[in-house]
Structures are given as structure tokens and as C-alpha cells.
Amino acid sequence: MEFIMAIVIGVLFMAAVYLILSRSLLRVILGTGLLSHGAHLLILTMGGLGGTSPPVLADGVTDYADPLPQALILTAIVISFGVTAFMIVLFYRAYGEHKTDNMNLMKGNDEHD
Amino acid sequence: MEFVWLIFLPILAAIIVPFLYKSVKNVHTGWFVLIVPVALFLYYIRFVKSVLNGEVHISELPWIPSYDISFTAYIDGLSILFSLLITGIGSLVVLYSIFYLDKKREKLNNFYVYLLMFMTAMLGIVQSDNVISLYLFWELTSISSFLLIGYWFTKDRSRFGALKSMMITVFGGLMMLGGFVLLSIMGDSYSIRELIANAPSFIDHNYFTLAIILILLGAFTKSAQFPFYIWLPDAMEAPTPVSAYLHSATMVKAGLYLVARFTPVFASSEVWIWLVTGIGLLTLFWGSFFAVKQTDLKAILAFSTVSQLGLIMSLFGASAVAYHVSGENAAIFKVAAFAGIFHLINHAMFKGSLFMVAGIVDHETGTRDIRKLGGLMSIMPISFTVAFIGSMSMAGLPPFGGFLSKELFLTSMLSLNQFDLFNFNTWGILFPVIAWIASVFTFVYSFYFVFKTFGGKRAHNAIPKEPKEAPIGMLLSPVILAITVVAIFFIPNMVAKAFVKPAVVAMQTGLYTNPSDVDIHVSAWHGWQPELQMTLGIIVVGLVLFATMSCWQKIYRVQPEKLSLNTLYNGMMTFSEKGMNRLSRLYMTGLLRSYLMYMFISIVAITIIALFMQDAFKVDFSSFAPVNAYGLMTAIILIISVIMVIVAKTRLAAIIALGGVGYSVALFFVIYKAPDLALTQLVIETVSVALFLLAFRYLPEVKRHGETKGIRVGNFLIAAAVGITVTLVALSAHSQKLIPSISQYYKDTVFTEAAGGNIVNVILVDYRGFDTLFEIAVLAIAAIGVYSMIKLRLSRKEKSDESE
């Protein structure tokens, strides 16, 4: 199963990078969303997908799933939500100011040279 | 007491200087600062007695013990001499500056902070036994020199001079660091004493000559040797007290100190002897020759400093010869080290006083242009006397200290002719000849300096201010120095016993064991010797040249401006500035895509190379969990959703597809026994989609903005590379566990330690509670950011909007 997961993660990263490199700011934001999904699954897979029961203490159970990656991912999910919200509003504001979402036009100017 | 701390006394005192400046307005801040060098001078002078008996003192302050780096103050003849020069001349310079710098107009707080910083740096250089801390102090002198030259930072010339000195000396410093590293590799130590002791074991090492060249680059740039001297004349933009202190008496002597200190290590090398002696002599000639060309008083002194530093440098180079000669003939070759140290003391005295006089002339007449000056002798008699004493000592005339060391210099240069190794018996004759010619020019510029300024007729209209004699406080320091110059002539052997001989012993370890072994007696009259004949020749030819100066000064115009070293420096600066600008423009495109591309390509390259170089790529199929049908289906759904996000033509489709990806991830969490994650992911995904939909009402459609096929293929290739890299990393990371996971500890102790059942929750709120706290902080910051971006407008923007 890890092998399949590794491929899924690779696809997620690939799609994310492809979107992030594009000229449309909208696609950049979509890309960061995919990137965080990929990262979460990567952490989960690195820890191992074994374990027959969730990491909640129960009588007679010894084979718990690894709790550590789960704790890390839980934090990461919330943070990535914060980042996504921030990015969306940043985009909203930038679009409002510049009337464009073309990254090539948003590269600033030479005033500061 | 641990006297290593005293190195830091000035810089610690510098901390309170700005407060004193602000709170005590009536008293010149210099009076407070003066306490520091005077106290240090009085402290260090107590060492003289024990050092002249051959004792050394060591005080250590560990800094980075694991790398064997420490601040080690090592006091022997050489370091005590320099420490006394630094604090002694430092005291006089501070005293002088009190009258030179106006307390109302000048930013004294800055000035004295820089000056005290310099004092610490300089004491650090001459006392450090550890090459790494020596290097640090060395760079600190460059920085404080930069700040002091640029003290009047509103003037273009000041900033230019400051930058120039910084570029050249820091370049040399870095080279020197390289030399130190090579030395420490060869000698297996950072301690100079140990390096000297280990020197015989590594003289045949491949790096030996390279280390010599690198360390000499440091010394030559700092001590303004040819062709690096060009920074020194431009450094004259600094206030005169600074020129007197840094750029004649102390900082420029750091290079000489370095050469003296490392003589025992490198003396065996032919390259060392030829380079140090040759460059020194060339600089001596070059500086003295071009000093006559100058018209600015301080520029004359700057070139004369360059020339005199060359003189001392050549003597230090010649002193290494003594290591190659033994037996009866050896005595004559031992004069060079003695002469070098002796002249170093003399030079500090007379050049310090001359700079101060130049400052006085500038201060009282408003100009330093020698063409406008003249006839000041009757108006400024004391200044004239000081200038006369200083100049005559510089010219090498009796009864002034300079005469004695000049004679010794000629003796050493003549002796080189008798040295029969390294081709010296063929080329050795050049040394006394060049030395003689340079001495003639030294004589000429000394006369030029003093008599064109004070002698002749007064040009009334040319001088901006009505000249008068300087106040007594300003004259005090140069007068003290001038008295010393005369005194040295009458008590040379006392000076030699107390300062020169211990320093010679420190410089030529191995040749002597005790200062009393240095068997050199200085006398003003030593018979009708070649040295005396040479001196007479210098005086005669010098007087003739001085009298006919106006006739031959034209030859300086022969050298075209385009062929000077300064043009070379300026060209290099412009070239590197423009070139670097062009280079950075080449890749700093301002496009997000370019920057991300650099990052992704680097990540892929570094990771892949590391993965295969370290042989870290391993896949262990046996540890994989069995393929699960639900998992497989979720994976397929997820991949389809991802493709939909990419190909979606409308933003709504893209958002829904992104939601699809999120929900599939949540499904994965369910499959892999992570209920908390699944719940969180579902909630967050729902909120995210809602947020996207809310915001997208105001946002444009998905557009490609004319991305060509080439760009898309490029993006795809980079994306594919990243994807493959991550896949490989995921597989390898899973397949090998280098250290056991902490998870087992959590599982074991979750109930006993934290009294909880849900391990994930307990980790979050208990074991890693701070993490969660900071996570909340991050969310709060994001929330503030979101709020402010929606609500706040730049006021400037608002105004321009209104005007539209």
C-alpha cells in the first residue's frame, strides 16, 4: 500500500508544482492547497501505514496506528487552512488593487533600483 | 588579574561614551575618553621591567574551546612595544583631538566610540596568540578605520576614501585568513607560539609558499605596501587626529607587526626574504618619489608614511637573513631586526608629531595646500619647531632619533651584499643603491614639507583665515612627541634596552634567548664608515635637488593619469559594480515563476544527489502494509480529482475538484485509522471550499495568460522531477528507520503520565502543548492579516484615489 501512497504523493506534488509555476495567481493558490495535502500524506506514509486500530487506548489492543504522524498532521492541517485563508484574501486584495491576476504583470517595477 | 580583559576595556568604555556626550554638555567628551588610554598605558608600562628580563606573560579567556579558539593575551617584547605605542600615542591623540574637534559642531559621541573600538581591535591584534581571534581583531581595525575615514560622511571624498580602504584591507584580511587556515593545517595549532615551535616540521609542506603569499597579502594591504598603498592617500580625508593615530602610528603598523611576528615561522623561506625585502624597498622608493609630487600637506605625509613603512618592511625582510648565517659573519645580519624595530619607534614619534602639525596648520589657516602656504615660521614658531624636528628626524639628520635608525638601515642594506645565498651576491648591490636613492627623495620631501609651509614669503591673499599660533592644548601632544624624538637621539641605548631588544628577541626567537644577548650598541658616531659617507651624499644631493625642485618637478607629468594604480582600482570597482548588477539582473527577473523554478530545481538536484551519493535509496517491500481495496479506490478518485483541478476550465470546477481531493485525503485518514484527522480534515475542507466560493465571487476566471507550449512543457518537466523526487524520498524514508521512533514512548506512557486515552489528543495538548499554543498564535496572526487586508487601505492610496 505504501508504494501506491508514494505514487499518490508524487502525483499531488507534481500537480502542485505545476500549478504553482503557472502565470495565473488563482492556479498558484490551488497549487498550494494540493501541496499541503501532499505533505500530510507524505508524513503519514513515512510513519508507516500499519496498525489495526486507531491510537486510542482500548482493552486487549496492542497494534495501534502510529500516533506521532497523526499529531503532526493535525497541527499541519490547521496551519495550512490558515495559510490558504490568508492567500485567498491576499489574492482578493491584490486583484482589487491591480485588476489582474497575471503573475507576469505583478512583478513590481524598477523604481527601487 | 587576567589582563586579557584589558583588551576589551576601550570597547566597553565606548558603551558609556554616548551617554556622557548627551548628559554632560559642558565638558568635551574627550576628557572622559582620555582616561582609558592613559590608564592602560600606565598598566602596560609595568610589564616593561619583567619583559626586558626575558619574561613573558600569558592570560587566557576561552571562547570556543571545542574548536580550540580563545582570546589569549600574550605579552612579550613585541606585543608590549606595540601596546605601549597604541595606548601612548592614543592618549596623545585623544588629548589633541579635544582641541581639534569642536564640541558643539562635531558628533563627538560617534568619533570616540569608533576610536575606542579601534583601540580594542589594535590591542587585540598585537596581543592575540590565537590566529583566529587575531584575524577578528584585524577586521575590526578595518571596520573602525572605515568608520573613522568616513567620519565626515557628508563629503563624497570621505565616503570614497573609506570604501577604498575597506575594500583593499578587507581583501587582504580575507587572504590572510586563508593563510592562517593553511598554517593551522600544517602546524596543527591555532596558537602562534605553537606554530613557531612546530615550524621546522612543515617548511617542506606543499602549502608553505602559498601560506606565505596569503599572509603577506594581508600584511601588505594593511601596511600600504606597493601596489596596495593607494588606499592610504585617500584615507587622509579622515580628521587629522585619526590620520596621526591610525594611518601613521598604529594601524598601518599592524602589517609590520604581522611580518615581525611570523618571521620565526617563515624566515627559512627564500620567497619570504625576497618578497618582504623587495616589496618593502620598492615601496620605500615609490612612496618617497611620489611624495614630492603632492601639494596637499597630508598627502605628502601619506606618501612619506607609505615610504617609511616600506623601509621598515624591507628591514624586517632582511632580518630573516640572520637565520641563514651562522658563525662570525652572523653579527652584521642581526642589525636589520634591531634597526627595523628602532625605526618603527622613531617613525611613530616623528610622523605622529608631523601629522598633528599638519592638522594645526589646516586648523589655523584653513588650507592644507602647500602652494598657498608659506612664511608661517614667525607666526607659528612652536608649530614650526615641532615640524622642523619631525622632518629632520624623517630626513635622517642628527641630532634626532631618525638619524640613528637611518644609519642602521643603511648598514643592514649594505650587509645584504655579503649574503651569499638565494642570488643575493648578484643582486644584493641593488639594495643599498635603491635605499640610497629613496633616502635622497626622503630628504627632499622632508625639506619640502617643512620649508614650503613655514619658510619663504607669506602669500597673504591665498590663505582663507588669518593665521595664528594654535592654542597650547593642541600643541601639547606634538611637543611631547618632538621632545621624545630629540631624547631618543641622546639616550638610544636606554630605549634599545627597554623596548627594542626585547622586541628583537620576540621577533627572532631561536636566535636569542634573552634580551641581553642582543649585542648591538647604538652610537651617533661610529667612525668614517660607508654609512656616514652615504648620509653625506644624501644631504648634498638632497639639498641640490631641493634647491632645483621647480626645474625637475615636471617629470611627474610624464606618467599619464590613465596608467596609474588608482585608475586601475577605479576601473575594477566600476567593472565589478556594473558586472554584478548585470549578473544579478540576469536571474533576478522579478517573476515568481523564476524564483520558484530555482528553488525546485535546487531541491530536486540536492535531494537526488544526496540520495544516491549516500546510497540512501532503499525500498523494503517486506515492511509494506498489504494493498487495501478501499485505499486503491480512494487513490484513483484522488488522482482523478487532481487532474480535474489542473484541466478545469472554470473556477467553480476547479474548486469542486480541489474539494474532491480534500475529501479523498479525509477518506485516506479513515482507512489508515486516524479518526481525529479525518474529522478535522472534513471540517476544514468544508470551510475551505466555502471560503473559496465566497471569495471567488470577486475573483477572475481561470486564465492561462498566454503561457506558450514551451513554458508549459518546462513547468511540467520541473513538476514531474519534483514529483518523482518526493516519491523516492517517501519510499526511502519509510523503508529505513535510522533511529527508533518516540511513538512507542507515547503509547507506553499516555495513561500513566498524562492520564488520557486518545494518544493523538494527549500529544497535542500535553506532550507538545507549546506546539499547539504556537499553532493558535499562527492562526491568530493569519486572522489579523486577513482582517487588515480586507479593512485597511493605505492612506496615500486613498488620497490618490480621491484626486482621480
How far apart (Å, rounded) are the C-alpha atoms in residues B642 and B622? 30
Q: Strand (E) positions, B65-111? A: 69-75
**Tell me, what's the pLDDT at B96?**
93
Residue B315: how many CA atoms within 13 Å on its side-chain side? 29
- Same-domain pairing of B424 and B307: yes
Which of A52, A82, A95 is nearest residue B700 as measured by Cβ atoms?
A95
- DSSP, res B758: B
Report the percentage of chain B scoring pLDDT > 90: 42
**Tell me, what's the pLDDT at B109?**
86
pLDDT, mean of residues B353-369: 89
Report the percentage of chain B scoring pLDDT > 70: 98
Does A12 fall in a domain?
Answer: yes
Asked if the model's pLDDT at residue A38 lies above 80, the reply is yes
- Same-domain pairing of B689 and B767: no
Asked if the model's pLDDT at residue B707 lies above 50, the reply is yes
- Which residues of A fall within a CB distance of 8 Å from B578? none
Instruction: Quote the minimal CA–CA distance from A88 to chain B in Å.
Output: 7
Which of B651, B675, B707 is nearest residue A22 as measured by Cβ atoms?
B707
Of B547, B577, B605, the residue that ends a domain is B547
Residue predicted with more confidence, B64 or A52:
B64
Q: Do B716 and A50 touch (CB under 8 A)?
A: no
Tell me which H or E stretch contains B588. Answer: none
How far apart (Å, rounded) are the C-alpha atoms in residues B574 and B580? 10
- Same-domain pairing of B626 and B515: no
Does A108 fall in a domain?
Answer: no
- Same-domain pairing of B736 and B747: no
Does B673 fall in a domain?
Answer: yes
Cβ–Cβ contact B170 with A under 8 A? no
Would you call B11 helix, strand, or coil by DSSP? helix
Q: How far is Cα of residue A71 from the mean position of the Cα atoms in its chain?
A: 16
- Same-domain pairing of B766 and B733: no
Asked if the model's pLDDT at residue B803 lies above 50, the reply is no
Does B261 fall in a domain?
Answer: yes
Closest by alpha carbon to B482, among B584, B356, B361?
A: B356
What is the band of B796 on the pLDDT scale with cuts at 50, 70, 90? low
The tally of domains found in chain B comes to 3
B101, B111 Cβ separation under 8 angstroms: yes
Cβ–Cβ contact A108 with B under 8 A? yes
Q: Pairing state of beta strands B57-64 and B69-75?
A: antiparallel
Which of B590, B705, B760 is nearest residue A67 as measured by Cβ atoms?
B760
- Structural domain of residue A73, as residue ranges? 2-50+65-103
**Contacts of residue B544, Cβ cutoff 8 Å, sequence gap at least 6:** none
Asked if the model's pLDDT at residue B797 lies above 70, the reply is no
How far apart (Å, rounded) are the C-alpha atoms in residues B617 and B613? 9
**Tell me, what's the pLDDT at B86?**
93
**Tell me, what's the pLDDT at B705?**
74
pTM exceeds 0.80: no
Residue type, B290: F
Q: b or e along B380-413 (b: 16 or more beta carbons within 10 Å of the residue's beta carbon)?
A: bebbbbbbbbbbbbbbbbbebbbbbbbbbbbbbb
- Structural domain of residue B79, as residue ranges? 3-547
Grid cell digits, residue A39: 505533505
Instruction: Quote the minimal CA–CA distance from A32 to chain B in Å.
Output: 11
Query: DSSP alpha helices (H): ranges in B455-500?
Result: 472-490, 492-495
**Tell me, what's the pLDDT at B801?**
52
Does B573 fall in a domain?
Answer: no
Residue type, B87: T
- Same-domain pairing of B80 and B133: yes
Q: What's the CA angle centered on B241, arms B237 and B242, to 5 degrees? A: 55
How far apart (Å, rounded) are the C-alpha atoms in residues B178 and B216? 11
- Which residues of B fall within a CB distance of 8 Å from A55? 673-674, 747, 758-760
- Same-domain pairing of B358 and B443: yes
Asked if the model's pLDDT at residue B300 lies above 70, the reply is yes
Would you call B559 helix, strand, or coil by DSSP? coil
Beta-carbon contacts below 8 Å between A and B? 272
Identify the closest residue of chain A to B766 by CA–CA distance. A71
Closest by alpha carbon to B92, among B482, B677, B553, B590?
A: B482
**Tell me, what's the pLDDT at A100?**
81
The answer to whether the bond into B398 is cis (omega within 30° of 0) is no
Which chain B residues in 733-752 lie under 8 Å from chain A, judged by CB atoms? 733-734, 741-743, 746-747, 750-751
If phi over 0 gives left and psi between -120 and 50 gives alpha, with beta otherwise, what is residue A54? beta
Grid cell digits, residue B303: 606618501
Contacts 24+ apart (CB under 8 A), B628-634: B628/A1, B628/B671, B630/B667, B630/B671, B631/A1, B631/A4, B631/A5, B631/B668, B631/B671, B632/A4, B634/B664, B634/B667, B634/B668, B634/B671
List, for residues B434-475, the tens digit of each pLDDT value: 999 999 999 999 998 888 888 877 766 667 777 788 888 889
Does A112 fall in a domain?
Answer: no
Backbone angles phi, psi at B63, to 5 degrees: -120, -65
Does A87 fall in a domain?
Answer: yes
Does B342 fall in a domain?
Answer: yes
Does B552 fall in a domain?
Answer: no
- Beta bridge partner(s), residue B70: B62
User: What angle in degrees, to the nearest 10, is found between the helix axes of B270-291 and B208-222?
Assistant: 20
Does A95 fall in a domain?
Answer: yes
B268, B309 Cβ separation under 8 angstroms: no
**Tell me, what's the pLDDT at A112?**
45
User: What angle in degrees, to the nearest 10, is found between the helix axes of B769-791 and A67-98?
Assistant: 10
Q: How many residues does chain A have?
A: 113
Asked if the model's pLDDT at residue A110 lies above 70, the reply is no
- The C-alpha torsion from B164 through B305 and B272 to B426, rounded to 10°, is 130
How far apart (Å, rounded) are the C-alpha atoms in residues B271 and B207? 13
- Same-domain pairing of B714 and B803: no
- Same-domain pairing of B643 and B733: yes
- Same-domain pairing of B625 and B519: no
Grid cell digits, residue B592: 515568481
Which of B726, B778, B783 is nearest residue A79 as measured by Cβ atoms?
B778
Asked if the model's pLDDT at residue A8 lies above 80, the reply is yes
List, for residues B148-164, the tens digit of each pLDDT value: 999 998 888 999 999 99
Grid cell digits, residue B70: 580563545
Query: DSSP alpha helices (H): ranges in B614-765?
Result: 629-647, 651-671, 675-696, 709-735, 743-754, 759-762
Does A55 fall in a domain?
Answer: no
B497, B52 Cβ separation under 8 angstroms: yes
The tally of domains found in chain A comes to 1
Contacts 24+ apart (CB under 8 A), B645-652: B645/A15, B645/A19, B645/A30, B645/A34, B646/A15, B646/A18, B646/A19, B648/B702, B649/B702, B650/B701, B650/B702, B651/A26, B651/B696, B651/B699, B651/B701, B651/B702, B652/B693, B652/B696
List, for residues B527-545, the tens digit of each pLDDT value: 777 888 888 888 888 888 8
Does A17 fall in a domain?
Answer: yes
Closest by alpha carbon to B468, among B374, B381, B356?
A: B381
pLDDT, mean of residues B618-631: 82
CATH code (residue A39): 1.10.287.3510
Max intra-chain CA distance, chain B: 111
Residue type, B50: S
Q: How far is CA B252 from CA B317, B334, B400, in A?
A: 17, 25, 23
Cβ–Cβ contact A102 with B under 8 A? yes
**Tell me, what's the pLDDT at B804?**
42
**Tell me, what's the pLDDT at A11?**
95
How far apart (Å, rounded) are the C-alpha atoms in residues B342 and B315? 11
- Same-domain pairing of B718 and B767: no
Does B702 fall in a domain?
Answer: yes
The DSSP code sequence of B137-173 is HHHHHHHHHHHHHTTSTTSHHHHHHHHHHHHHHHHHH
Closest by alpha carbon to B94, among B673, B480, B449?
A: B480
- Which residues of B fall within a CB distance of 8 Å from A92? 695, 698-699, 789-790
Grid cell digits, residue B329: 659573519
**Tell me, what's the pLDDT at A113?**
41
Of B713, B741, B769, the residue that ends a domain is B741
**Contacts of residue B157, Cβ cutoff 8 Å, sequence gap at least 6:** B234, B237
- Same-domain pairing of B255 and B335: yes
CATH code (residue B692): 1.20.120
Does B582 fall in a domain?
Answer: no
List, for residues B553-609, the tens digit of each pLDDT value: 777 777 776 778 888 888 888 898 899 889 888 888 888 888 999 999 999 999 999
**Tell me, what's the pLDDT at B717?**
93
Would you call B24 helix, strand, or coil by DSSP? coil
What is the band of B706 on the pLDDT scale with cuts at 50, 70, 90? confident
- Beta bridge partner(s), residue B62: B70
Q: Strand (E) positions, B478-544? A: none
Cβ–Cβ contact A13 with B under 8 A? yes
Tell me which H or E stretch contains B63. Answer: strand B57-64
- Beta bridge partner(s), residue B69: B64
How far apart are the two ends of chain B, measured CA to CA in Å?
A: 74
Closest by alpha carbon to B183, among B280, B61, B269?
A: B269
Asked if the model's pLDDT at residue B740 lies above 60, the reply is yes
Mutation target for B interface from A43, A81, A102, A106: give the one with most B CBs within 10 A.
Answer: A81
- Which residues of A fall within a CB distance of 8 Å from B731? 2-3, 6
The DSSP code sequence of B355-413 is HHHHHHHHHHHS--BTTT----TTT-HHHHHHHHHHHHHHHT-TTSHHHHHHHHHHHHH
B349, B453 Cβ separation under 8 angstroms: no
Instruction: Quote the minimal CA–CA distance from A63 to chain B in Å.
Output: 10
Cβ–Cβ contact B759 with A under 8 A? yes
Does A98 fall in a domain?
Answer: yes
The answer to whether the bond into B227 is cis (omega within 30° of 0) is yes
pLDDT, mean of residues B617-638: 85
Of B702, B718, B741, the residue that ends a domain is B741
